[in-house]
Amino acid sequence: MPTEPHNPLSTSVEHRSSELSLRDENLHLREIIALQESRITCIQEIGVALGSTMSLDDLLNVIMEKITVLMQADRSTLFLVDRDQDALWSKVIQGDQVNEIRLLIGEGIAGWVAKAGQSINIRNAYQDERFNSEVDMRTGYQTRSILCQPIRNHKGDLIGVVQVLNSKNGYFSDADENLLSALASQAAVSIENSMLYLSMVDKNLELTETKIKLEKKIAEVDFLYDIQRLIGQAVDLQDLLQLVASKALDISEAELCAVAIREKEHLRLFSLRHEEEDALRIFHASLDDGVCAMVIDTGAPYMTNSSQDAVLAATGLHADGLQVRHIIAAPFFSDDRCIGAVKLINKRGADGFDDDDMKLLTLLAGQIAGAVAAILSRERQEKANRLATIGQMLSGVIHDFKTPVTIISGYVQLMARQNDPDIRKEYAESVLKQFDQLNKMTREILAFARGESSILLRKVFMRSFAEDLRELLSRELGDRGIDLQMETRYGGAVKMDDVKLKRAIFNLARNAAEAMPDGGTFSVVLDRDGADAVLTFSDTGQGIPVEIRASLFESFVTQGKEGGTGLGLAIVKKIVEEHNGSITFTSEVGEGTTFTIRIPTDPDQDD
């Protein structure tokens, strides 16, 4: 086998040079692999980083940082599009400071890319007329190569621009372009996610705020509903203000709630303290002293949480012995006239009242205004009738006195003629018993006069009561063409406050008359059932409207009447209950109505 001539030198030279180029190649390959490895690691890091933050600023920083490393660049900037301003913006972190830079679309390299929607790869910035060298001049930076690409979302809309400066290799290659383009689309997804997330956070915040507002509104409506219900239960001012103040103390967490009513010469002050929630105290105060007086005078609400405030120092009696730290007060009006004010003192366990408390108090003031005005006008009407009522009552009382006095005088005459000491003793005991009776009656009258007892029970014969009623009602009904029928099936004695009971029956008769505008019949039957006296009152009127039947006896329930206050039946019920009695009704629309009152004939059973 022929062999090729051997040139040991040439072989050795070739061998060396190929060894050299192999080593170079090897080195070069290793470099490339190392670069690719670092790029892969970087890309992985980018993936992790992009997935780990939802804050847009953090996200943009991570993207910029990673892109700079990956592109072997000096720095990079990521601009987002602001459609409203037709601009690009970016945040640049310099030390601890975050500065925002803005460019108009079309301005500078990034602006050009945003406008054209194309990427550019510039080897020497200063030779490109689109480059704006002002920034370099300002910062002292020396821009050489630039790679700048648009960032698009999945729909292809432009959402930003990424710009990398000064490749470590002198300029950016085609491979760099491809890599940046891949990175840009990865970044686009994260940026869009983050913006979506942020807008959801905003929406959520909005929803939470709306929810809180809604909850507050519901609490207000609940409060107003409660107040309305309490107003419905109250018949007189004291009753009303006790219930309302107690509710207000619960809700507002105040130490004291007071309502002031403006009278001619003074303020009538109803004051309730948190520790004594069932003891409403009533004071008379001067018209120019205290925060209520001021609020009534100005007609404007007032709030202070400052102990330096002069208003707090001047409260004296109005604070009911409390050391005042905070006050809110709101006026209330009837027919545009300020008739009173409601105030809260000292928020329990807090630094003071806030706007929400003030709002609640203003709502409360508005809510009770109508009820207070109606009760005040009733009170005035009652005051006007008072003398007549007292006169009526006294004549009845004097009449009742006659019976024991006659009996006493009878026994005394008998005693005078009797010598037997045992029989005299018996007479003396009978006399004493009558004195006891007189004493008891006197005590009852005094209690009534002092206002300790709301009714004055007397023994009244139904027969004479029926006569009084006939006189009272025939006058009222006769004028309106209504026929009055009275039937007394039981004429015996019943313990009652006849003056008050007459007033109750008068209210029933007036309602009946109002239900029979074209005339009809009003029938009264006085009867007895076991230990109860039973009084029934029937009319042939239009019947009670179905809608108000369930709450008929509550205050301020009225229907179909001009100027009706809706207190009539509430007062009737109160009077009946004071007699330990009950009241019920049946009614048929278009047919008529019957009210039945039952009261024990002798509620005390002790004489």
Q: Which amino acid is at 591?
A: E
Position closest to Mg ion via CB:
568
Nearer to ligand ATP, 151 or 576 (CB): 576
Nearer to ligand ATP, 159 or 552 (CB): 552
Nearer to ligand ATP, 193 or 594 (CB): 594
**Residue choice 55, 561, 577, 580 for contact with ligand ATP (CB under 6 A):** 561
Closest separation between CB of residue 241 and ligand ATP, Å? Answer: 20
Closest separation between CB of residue 543 and Mg ion, Å? Answer: 15
What whole-number distance in Å separates Cα of residue 404 and Cα of residue 411?
A: 10
Closest separation between CB of residue 372 and ligand ATP, Å? Answer: 15
Residue 370 in contact with ligand ATP, rule: CB under 6 A = no
**Which partner from the list ligand ATP, Mg ion, none does 290 bind, CB cut-off 5 to 8 Å by kind?**
none
What whole-number distance in Å separates Cα of residue 301 and Cα of residue 303?
A: 7
**Which partner from the list Mg ion, ligand ATP, none does 545 bind, CB cut-off 5 to 8 Å by kind?**
ligand ATP
Percentages of the chain per state (helix, strand, coil), in multiples of 5: 55, 20, 25
Closest separation between CB of residue 566 and Mg ion, Å? Answer: 8
Nearer to ligand ATP, 488 or 507 (CB): 507
Residue 108 in contact with Mg ion, rule: CB under 5 A = no
**Which partner from the list Mg ion, ligand ATP, none does 558 bind, CB cut-off 5 to 8 Å by kind?**
ligand ATP
**Which partner from the list ligand ATP, Mg ion, none does 256 bind, CB cut-off 5 to 8 Å by kind?**
none
Nearer to ligand ATP, 122 or 569 (CB): 569
Site for Mg ion in 67-96 (CB under 5 A): none
State how far Cα 85 lies from the chain centre.
43
Binding mask 253-272 for ligand ATP (x = CB under 6 A): --------------------
Position closest to ligand ATP via CB:
568
| 8 A C-beta contact, residue 71 and residue 38 | no
Q: Residues touching ligand ATP: how many (CB under 6 A)? A: 25
Nearer to Mg ion, 340 or 592 (CB): 592
DSSP assignment string, 86-150: TEEEEEEEETTEEEEEEEETTSHHHHHHHHH---EEES-GGG-TT--THHHHHH------EEEEE
CB proximity list for 79: less than 8 A, separation 6 or greater: 88, 89, 90, 103, 110, 114, 160, 161, 162, 163
Residue 593 in contact with ligand ATP, rule: CB under 6 A = yes
Nearest to 499 by CA among 598, 391, 423, 337: 391
Q: What angle do CA 376, 381, 387 make, to 5 degrees?
A: 125
What whole-number distance in Å separates Cα of residue 253 and Cα of residue 552?
A: 33
How do beta strands 267-273 and 458-461 pair?
Answer: unpaired
| 8 A C-beta contact, residue 430 and residue 537 | no
Which range touches ligand ATP (CB under 6 A), out of 232-240, 284-292, 302-310, 561-569?
561-569
Nearer to Mg ion, 280 or 567 (CB): 567
Closest separation between CB of residue 535 and ligand ATP, Å? Answer: 15
Site for Mg ion in 149-188 (CB under 5 A): none
Q: Which amino acid is at 528?
A: R
Residue 568 in contact with Mg ion, rule: CB under 5 A = yes
Which range touches Mg ion (CB under 5 A), out of 2-10, 40-48, 291-299, 568-576?
568-576
Site for ligand ATP in 564-583 (CB under 6 A): 564-570
How do beta strands 120-122 and 97-104 pair?
Answer: unpaired
Residue 340 in contact with Mg ion, rule: CB under 5 A = no
Closest separation between CB of residue 559 and Mg ion, Å? Answer: 11
Which range touches Mg ion (CB under 5 A), out of 283-291, 332-340, 403-411, 508-516?
508-516
Residue 592 in contact with Mg ion, rule: CB under 5 A = no
How do beta strands 97-104 and 87-94 pair?
Answer: antiparallel
Residue 511 in contact with Mg ion, rule: CB under 5 A = yes
C-alpha separations of 13 from 3, 311, 343, 391 in Å: 20, 111, 110, 148
How do beta strands 97-104 and 532-539 pair?
Answer: unpaired
What whole-number distance in Å separates Cα of residue 488 and Cα of residue 527?
A: 7
Closest separation between CB of residue 558 and Mg ion, Å? Answer: 8
Site for ligand ATP in 483-512 (CB under 6 A): 507, 511-512
**Residue choice 57, 58, 560, 589 for contact with ligand ATP (CB under 6 A):** 560
Residue 235 in contact with ligand ATP, rule: CB under 6 A = no
State how far Cα 89 lies from the chain centre.
45
**Which partner from the list Mg ion, ligand ATP, none does 229 bind, CB cut-off 5 to 8 Å by kind?**
none
What whole-number distance in Å separates Cα of residue 383 and Cα of residue 293?
A: 25
Closest separation between CB of residue 513 and Mg ion, Å? Answer: 10
What whole-number distance in Å separates Cα of residue 109 and Cα of residue 211?
A: 47
**Tokens of residue 303, six digits:** 């709030």
Nearer to ligand ATP, 269 or 516 (CB): 516
**Residue choice 241, 249, 361, 515 for contact with ligand ATP (CB under 6 A):** 515
C-alpha separations of 276 from 91, 257, 342, 509, 514 in Å: 63, 11, 18, 41, 44
Closest separation between CB of residue 538 and Mg ion, Å? Answer: 16
**Residue choice 539, 576, 598, 601 for contact with ligand ATP (CB under 6 A):** 539
**Which partner from the list Mg ion, ligand ATP, none does 64 bind, CB cut-off 5 to 8 Å by kind?**
none
C-alpha separations of 262 from 270, 300, 332, 344, 528 in Å: 12, 15, 11, 18, 47
Residue 593 in contact with Mg ion, rule: CB under 5 A = no
What whole-number distance in Å separates Cα of residue 287 and Cα of residue 264?
A: 9
What whole-number distance in Å separates Cα of residue 19 and Cα of residue 550?
A: 111
Q: Is 337 helix (H, G, I), strand (E, B) or coil?
A: strand
- φ, ψ (nearest 5 deg) of residue 273: -100, 150
Closest separation between CB of residue 572 and ligand ATP, Å? Answer: 8
**Which partner from the list ligand ATP, Mg ion, none does 404 bind, CB cut-off 5 to 8 Å by kind?**
none
Nearer to ligand ATP, 396 or 564 (CB): 564
Q: Which amino acid is at 246?
A: S
Site for ligand ATP in 540-559 (CB under 6 A): 541-545, 548, 552, 557-559
What whole-number distance in Å separates Cα of residue 113 and Cα of residue 574?
A: 87
What whole-number distance in Å separates Cα of residue 62 and Cα of residue 64?
A: 5
User: Where on the chain is the footprint of Mg ion (CB under 5 A)?
Assistant: 511, 568
User: Where on the chain is the footprint of ligand ATP (CB under 6 A)?
Assistant: 507, 511-512, 515, 539, 541-545, 548, 552, 557-561, 564-570, 593
